[in-house]
């Protein structure tokens, strides 16, 4: 698979493969390729495949994205190209095979299906294996061993720490709540944390919780280190290794 190598002073700092999902580059740690330099914008650029070609796109960065010393907004990348972002260089290795979303050819060939149908075992196994090869290793590699945990920072609860082992977690006074609040006038169900396919979401119950000091307006996906406040209790959401 094609890859990008982040270089600083001719040393490889980090390497990432470019798959079917875009690789994001920027100063913020949530990027696939974080570049810790003040000249780099939080979300600076992204690299992705489009119609079989690798493309770099500048995300309106302050100091610009350069390919082989030319400032670009969007450019096709070739093997051996150098992307310059701030003082860092990213080497492009496009020698591997481009990831072709395996449904693209199929889409055109398959007739439109109005009637519901079930794939037979063999077909299904093949499709899933292809899909697994494409996406799974990248998607889950980083999250496999992390255990979502709530650590109680202040306030009265029945435990000091809770591992979110279930899909549905309730914070409240109720005897059935996972995180049991103690004390008078606490709501039975103050708030909830629910696991969805892409993470853990904090939602309201009888009360509106806040994340990092801001009250939520709808379900919000929790990030590692978020501070959750609800009914006089402060909780730290962390992914434990």
Partner 1 sequence: MRIASGGVTDVGRVRSNNEDCFKIVEPLHLFVLSDGMGGEAHGEIASAMAVETVVKHCLDFEANPAAKVVGAVEPKWSARTKRLSTAVHLANRNIFKSAEANDEQRGMGATLTAVWIDDARLSVAHVGDSRAYLLRGGGLLQLTRDHSLVAEQVRRGILTAAEAEESDMQSVLLRALGAQAEIEVDAEEHTLFPRDVLLLCSDGLTRVVTEPEIAGTLQAETDPMRAAEKLVALANERGGPDNITVVIVRLDKDSKGWFSWLRGATRKNSGSNGTGGN
- Contact positions toward partner 1, by CB under 8 A? 20-21, 101-103, 107, 110, 112-121, 124, 127-128, 131-132, 134-136, 138-139, 166-168, 170, 174, 176, 188-189, 191-192, 194, 196-197, 201, 203-206, 218-219
HSE-up of residue 184 (Cα within 13 Å, Cβ side): 0
Which lies closer to partner 1 via its Cβ, residue 69 or residue 197?
197
| 180 within 8 A of 157, measured Cβ to Cβ | yes
Q: Considering the complex, what minimum distance in angstroms separates the CB of residue 116 from partner 1? A: 4
Distance of alpha carbon 177 from alpha carbon 210, whole angstroms: 19
Question: Which segments within 3-52 are labelled E, that is strand?
Answer: 3-8, 11-17, 23-26, 33-34, 45-50
Q: Considering the complex, what minimum distance in angstroms separates the CB of residue 222 from partner 1? A: 14
Q: Considering the complex, what minimum distance in angstroms separates the CB of residue 91 from partner 1? A: 25
Q: Considering the complex, what minimum distance in angstroms separates the CB of residue 137 from partner 1? A: 10
Which lies closer to partner 1 via its Cβ, residue 86 or residue 209?
209
Q: Considering the complex, what minimum distance in angstroms separates the CB of residue 122 from partner 1? A: 11
Distance of alpha carbon 226 from alpha carbon 33, whole angstroms: 22
Which lies closer to partner 1 via its Cβ, residue 79 or residue 136?
136
In the numeric block, the tokens 């904090």 are attached to 202
Closest CA to 27 of 71, 63, 76: 63
Which lies closer to partner 1 via its Cβ, residue 38 or residue 110?
110
Is residue 136 helix, strand or coil?
helix
| 37 within 8 A of 87, measured Cβ to Cβ | yes
Which lies closer to partner 1 via its Cβ, residue 102 or residue 239?
102
Q: Considering the complex, what minimum distance in angstroms separates the CB of residue 196 from partner 1? A: 7
Distance of alpha carbon 226 from alpha carbon 213, whole angstroms: 10
Task: Give the tokens for residue 218.
Answer: 């709808």
| 231 within 8 A of 190, measured Cβ to Cβ | yes
């Amino acid at each position: 698979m094609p890859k990008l190598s982040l270089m600083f002073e001719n040393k490889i700092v980090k390497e990432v493969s470019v798959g079917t999902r875009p690789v994001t580059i920027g100063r913020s740690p949530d990027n696939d390729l974080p570049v810790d330099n003040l000249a780099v914008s939080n979300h600076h650029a992204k690299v992705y495949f489009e119609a079989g070609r690798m493309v770099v796109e500048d995300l309106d960065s302050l100091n610009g994205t350069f390919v082989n010393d030319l400032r670009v907004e969007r450019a096709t990348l070739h093997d051996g190209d150098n992307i310059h972002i701030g003082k860092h260089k990213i080497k492009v290795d496009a020698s591997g095979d481009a990831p072709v979303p395996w449904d693209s050819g199929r889409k055109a060939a398959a007739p439109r299906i109005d009637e519901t149908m079930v794939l037979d075992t063999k077909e299904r196994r093949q499709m899933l294996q292809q899909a697994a090869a494409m996406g799974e290793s990248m998607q889950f590699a980083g999250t496999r061993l992390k255990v979502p945990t709530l650590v109680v920072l202040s306030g009265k609860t029945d435990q000091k720490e809770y591992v979110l082992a279930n899909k549905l977690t309730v914070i409240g006074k109720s005897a059935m709540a996972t995180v049991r609040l103690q004390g008078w006038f606490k709501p039975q169900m103050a708030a909830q944390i629910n696991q969805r396919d892409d993470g853990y979401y904090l939602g309201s119950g009888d009360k509106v919780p806040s994340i990092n000091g801001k009250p939520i307006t709808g379900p919000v996906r929790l990030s590692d280190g978020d501070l959750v406040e609800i009914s006089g209790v402060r909780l730290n959401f962390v992914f434990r290794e």
